């Protein structure tokens, strides 16, 4: 079965986010004075083959640990894992 996983990788809260500061300041200059903070991250969508949703989650977590995030400065979360509708052969 094929699964689609949505992963978000963001800087850890203790890591300075210069890109987020630029976005926050830009929004304030555009008149959005209520913006207190902005954090920038990466959204990654993966399509994987696995026998179950839990197997797909475990596989994606292993990918995050091995390559998709820098464990020193980034955290990740798996927002969703959903089965795809496979076309009949």
Read off the pLDDT of residues 15-42 as tens digits, 9 standing for 90 and up: 999 999 999 999 999 999 999 999 999 9
Per the document, the length of the chain is: 89
CA dihedral 61, 63, 66, 67 (to 10 degrees): -130
pLDDT greater than 80 at residue 89: no
Domain positions in the chain: 2-15+41-83
Contact 63, 70 (CB under 8 A): no
Give Cα 12 distance to the centre of its chain. Answer: 13
Residue 2 pairs in a beta bridge with: 49
pLDDT greater than 70 at residue 87: no
CATH code, residues 2-15+41-83: 3.30.1280.10
* Mode of pairing for the β-strands spanning 74-83 and 41-49: unpaired
Work out the number of other CB atoms within 10 angstroms of the CB of residue 56.
24
Q: Residue 78 is encoded by which pair of tokens?
A: 């798996």
pLDDT greater than 80 at residue 74: yes
């Amino acid at each position: 079965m094929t699964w689609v996983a949505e992963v978000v990788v963001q800087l850890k809260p203790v890591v300075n986010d210069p890109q987020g500061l630029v976005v926050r300041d830009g929004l304030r200059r555009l008149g959005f004075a209520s913006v207190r903070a902005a954090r920038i991250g990466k959204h990654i969508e993966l399509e994987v083959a696995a026998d179950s949703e839990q197997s797909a989650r475990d596989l994606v977590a292993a990918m995050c640990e091995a390559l998709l995030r820098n464990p020193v400065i980034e955290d990740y979360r798996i927002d969703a894992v959903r089965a795809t509708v496979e076309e009949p052969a």
